[in-house]
Amino acid sequence: MPVICICLSLCIGRYPLPLSDVLKILLSRFESFHISVTDIQYGVVWDIRLPRAVLGALVGGSLAVSGAAFQGLFKNPLVSSGILGVSAGAGFGATLAILLFHSLAAVYPFALGFGILAVMLSCMIGRVYQSTPSIMLVLGGVIVASVFSALISFAKFVADPYEQLPAIVFWLMGSLANVGYKEIQVAIIPILIGFAGLYGISWRINVLSMGDKEAHSLGINVRLSKAIVIICASLATAGAVSVSGIIGWIGLVIPHIGRMLVGNDNRILIPVSFSLGASFLILVDNLGRILTGSEIPLGILTAIIGGPFFVYLLKKTKGGGW
Amino acid sequence: MVSPLLSVEQVGFSYGHQQILSDISFSVDKGEVFCLLGPNGCGKTTLLDCILGFQRLKSGSIIVSGKSISEITPGNLARLISYIPQSHERTFPYTVLEIVMMGRAAYTGLFSAPNRMDRRISESALDTVGISHLKTRPYTRLSGGEGQLVMIARALAQNAPLVIMDEPTAHLDFKNELTVLETIARLVQDKGISVIMATHFPNHSFFFENNDIPINVAMLKDTRFIETGPPAKVLHEDKIETLYGIQADIIKYTNGTDRARKQVIPIRTVV
């Protein structure tokens, strides 16, 4: 499904191309085919649309997967990928980078670093009180997220209102505009590590959702398994958020759509969520590109489109059993 | 002399300064039931948590199959001790078979899932408990009694010689309570597993005694065992009065059959 969406997104845009031309352009890269295309066509597909679509797939997929994993881990269907403060942390990192360096190049490492820092802080707060870690972790996440949100507001307050402030606001609303292969290089390593780890441990997430005590009595090293889930999900989210800005909603809703379609077994749910999240974000990004003359930030569209769609699904499937 | 399956030696536990358990010692042999009685909040669940390795002991030691539980990894401990919770908090609607297969977690690697053999073992566990027909049902939609039978099947799939149950019949109706007790009795008799069971009903221990299953009872009050031994020795009117603060009658009857049965009848509270 994501592959179809990527192909579709290669055709759509200000410079529309039929699918046959897109295939030609894609193949023209390989010299043995001897296909000639114009430089503009080549540039539009290979340098602008393809990296954007691939990155969209990676970002959407990893947000959805980490949301699904956190929901299982915390036994709570209302949890999303930002629960441990990773989004707020990454947002602050990006804001700080824009403030200090006036350049986007510094944004990625800062966003990634602060996103992971935020999760580490949440976990440290969660460990203060030893016997019920899950609820304390969530509380830690809430605390860390609100502190970082306040810091973001402070940064906006002191930012130069003509250059830095628009850049910060635009970044926070989430966008895949102006991305290229460099951004893919930044994001792909944490995303792939995170996804591979979560896919590998997916059955243990099922068992962890029985609660700490039962999971322990069933023979699981609860602490180790939880740590792996948290690290992998946070890596994937931080990698995604650092290149795309904050895109809400996907990490909450896409896993639910997956649950309605294939059930709650994380062995199936995790890959399905990845593919659904990837497809959804590519489609939303396409809409954002073509709906109006200037691009609409993704964070706005995911919520506006996702909300009613989710309500429709809830009504149709009656919530899927819980 | 053969060492017992489980031996608990002078165990003490406290939350901060609050002493919960002191100087608890007992042992459980193969094919034996150990019934833990005591008023609400007396530390029954904490003691079970200690045996499960979920709480760290403050003093004493717990030895299972000749090894101290503090030296056993969770995976290996789960092959020796399985656990049936009081009432299970159900979140995601997994099917009954998926739940039972979770009993195989101790036999699967960190990054893997149960294989076909685990599935077969889980299916035969469902069969043994007699709930194969529930296999594909979402367990969030089961009744309390069915849910508890699923937990028993899961413990069976875990294939551990010792099963720990924390009030396994809480919130169940008359028939379901009896179904659960009969199932436990059958597993002890047929499979030779051992059971440690916390319960609020002294009659549960008489149920096992009436069915000729080796059973010991412990009365836990004010952090200590005030009495341990077979029901015939331990369950007397005066001891029940000390334990719960109630006046009770213990009646013995045959009701036309050739076997004597015993029951505890609560009469009134004693101040």
Q: pLDDT tens-digit profile of A273-306? A: 999 999 999 888 888 888 777 778 888 888 888 7
pLDDT at A290: 81
pLDDT grade for B55, boundaries at 50, 70 and 90: confident
Kind of pairing, strands B162-166 and B194-198? Answer: parallel
Quote the CA–CA distance of A177 and A243 in Å, as a whole number: 10
Reduced to 3 states (helix: H, G, I; strand: E, B; else coil), residue B83 is strand
pLDDT of residue B5 exceeding 80, the answer is yes
- For the stretch B191-205, pLDDT in tens is 999 999 999 999 999
Give me the residue from A214, A222, A321 closest to B140, CB to CB: A321
Q: Do residues A258 and A276 make contact, with C-beta atoms less than 8 angstroms apart?
A: yes
* Interface test with chain B among A134, A203, A206, A322, by most B beta carbons within 10 Å: A203
- Span between the terminal Cα atoms of chain B, in Å: 46
Of A22, A128, A104, A70, nearest in space to A269 by CA = A70
Rounded CA separation A28/B215 (Å): 81
Q: What is the mean pLDDT of residues A21-43?
A: 76
Segment A215-238, tens digit of pLDDT: 999 999 988 898 899 899 989 998
pLDDT at B243: 93
| Whole-angstrom distance, CA of residue A170 vs CA of residue A110 | 17
pTM, rounded to two decimals:
0.86
What mean pLDDT, rounded, does chain B reach?
90
A320: chain B residues, CB-CB within 8 Å: 93
Could you identify the residue written with the tokens 């009432």? B87
Calculated CA dihedral for residues A52, A53, A57, A63, nearest 10 degrees? 40
Q: Which of B72, B73, B84, B92 to mutate to test the interface with A (most CBs of A within 10 A)?
A: B92
Report CB contact under 8 Å: B93, A320.
Answer: yes
The confidence band for A14, taking pLDDT boundaries of 50, 70 and 90, is low
At A322 the pLDDT is 46
Tell me whether residues A321 and B82 touch, CB distance under 8 A: no
Which residues in chain B touch residue A202, judged by CB atoms under 8 angstroms apart? 113
Between the alpha carbon of residue A194 and those of residues A65, A274, B16, B38, B46, the distances in Å are 9, 12, 39, 48, 37
* Cβ contacts of A72 on chain B, cutoff 8 Å: 92
Using DSSP's 3-state secondary structure scheme, residue A290 falls into helix
ipTM of the complex: 0.88
